[in-house]
Structure 1
């Protein structure tokens, strides 16, 4: 198992700042997206909103991460705020910290993400259970989440 690196977020929407350290003991679904990513807009972000609503009475923590690695000038926090409002996103969303001298943001680098959308499930023990890139089946992702929710607490 691979330990999940901490999230580096420069700003939060729909939430106070969240850390994986503070969430240890709870499964975490981390959804990395860009608002100008067609797959994120059509599939990944709506899927994450559905997961947030479906599992809201469990101890699953859903976190969106706006992970900008291209078109930086267009994807500002002001634009993201409008996007969140227009798409009625209610789950916590952090803005991935800008990379130091690189267009790749900090959390994206830490997780070795290939792009967006990316869905990562972190187990109660803080280890990565699932790291999926691109469009993923609702049924498959739901089954992985349900299995982690049903796993005994460490």
Structure 2
């Protein structure tokens, strides 16, 4: 897989193999695989006065909608591709935050599930190592988004 900025201000991702295709499809799957609703997890604030109730009522639903929109954006792009001969994926500036957030959800869910910090990839089980490599790809793609599409 190749990912790079284009001269016209987009990020282009070229899927070159079946493994690349599986990695791209794993983004929303990884984000949802932990079984933990990230919005609910972020809604676990101290119960001081009405803070917790207000947070749950007003903030968590907006977070849930935003997180869902991020993953839906990625899923829609992937659904429009032919797995046998996928076209390049272009991420435009207007969708950069959605992609960044979806990748972040996937990366956080993988970290929550596998606890990579401090582990040597050479000593990981094959499943954990595969997840670690996906997490590294998500981080790299997030870096491209930040550097080329999300800064002013």
Q: TM bucket by the smaller chain?
A: under 0.3
Compute the TM-score of the two structures, normalised by the length of structure 1: 0.25
Compute the TM-score of the two structures, normalised by the length of structure 2: 0.26
Structure label with greater radius of gyration: 2
